[in-house]
Amino acid sequence: MIKKKEKIRIIPKLETKNGFLIKGMKYEGLKKVGVLDEFILKYYNDHADQINIIDIVASLYSRDHLFKTLNKSIGLINIPICAGGGVKNIEHIRQLLLAGADRVIINSEALKNINFLKEVKNIFGDQFITISIETKKIQGKYVCMMNHGRDVSNYELHEWINELSKLQVGEIIINSIDNDGTNLGFDKDLVNTIDTKTDIPLIYSGGLNNKDDIFQLLQKNLFSGISIGSSLHFNDNKIIEIKKFLNEKKLNINMFND
């Protein structure tokens, strides 16, 4: 549950491949949108509170493009950057932090081996860990997926959140694969399954469309932030306009990022 003094964050979700911003629907049919650097600067100027970058081919090839982007962004923006994609070991985390990431996003490796998270916490502390949960409904249950939604893990959503709560990771992003890129609004069935007992900051991502949809989600008092892709990338929404609307609705918003 969001704490009363905690300001709600608006976070662009940038999926990248070889230095380009890409986007699909339900984690499939990925298409090139533009140059990643340009969108990072665009969203910073539009008063994003944080930038999340996922390199979806890092585990298959290299992180060279992501490192270059992070190094360049340090001099251009002064808001937190969270980066991930194919993080499998301590050295990957160290390299991302050295390149300029404020937090490192982890998904698949944590699901495969929860002891990896314990090792990360012992070395870096929990403040650097963001766990991305990619979940979809399979036979009536929300299952945690690995490898950009391709493979099923052994965890259901509520089980994995409970495990992460015990470990006290820095924050959790809950991504609805079923609603991703659809602009159909947030996944109501998914949100209704989330246990409000965890005190770890939760971010929601997947299908967010218009300002009313976002307000309806945030009224549930579950999430300390929202992560948006398609409806920002294709100019349906502006971050500052979302913030103005939510501020008028008396939500606790950081209007500007400076």
Task: Kindly report, residue by residue over 60-108, the tens digit of the pLDDT.
Answer: 566 778 888 888 888 889 999 999 998 999 999 999 999 999 999 999 9
- Cα dihedral 44, 33, 93, 194, rounded to 10, equals 80
Range of the domain at 138: 9-248
Task: Name residues whose C-beta falls within 8 Å of residue 99's C-beta, 6 or more positions apart in sequence.
Answer: 66, 67, 70, 71, 83
Would residue 147 count as lying in a domain? yes
Would residue 53 count as lying in a domain? yes
Instruction: Determine the average pLDDT of the residues in 111-127.
Output: 93
Task: Note the pLDDT of residue 235.
Answer: 75
Number of domains in the chain: 1
Would residue 256 count as lying in a domain? no
Contact between 198 and 146 (Cβ < 8 Å)? no
Would residue 166 count as lying in a domain? yes
Would residue 230 count as lying in a domain? yes
Would residue 70 count as lying in a domain? yes
Q: 6 pLDDT band (50/70/90 cuts)?
A: confident
CATH of the domain at 28: 3.20.20.70
Task: Note the pLDDT of residue 1.
Answer: 56
Q: 164 pLDDT band (50/70/90 cuts)?
A: very high
Would residue 160 count as lying in a domain? yes
**pTM for this structure?**
0.94
Task: Name residues whose C-beta falls within 8 Å of residue 250's C-beta, 6 or more positions apart in sequence.
Answer: none
Would residue 52 count as lying in a domain? yes
Around Cβ 32, how many Cβ atoms within 10 Å?
Answer: 11
Res. 4: pLDDT tops 60: no
pLDDT tens per residue across span 12-61: 999 999 889 999 999 999 999 999 999 999 999 999 999 999 998 765 56
Q: 127 pLDDT band (50/70/90 cuts)?
A: confident
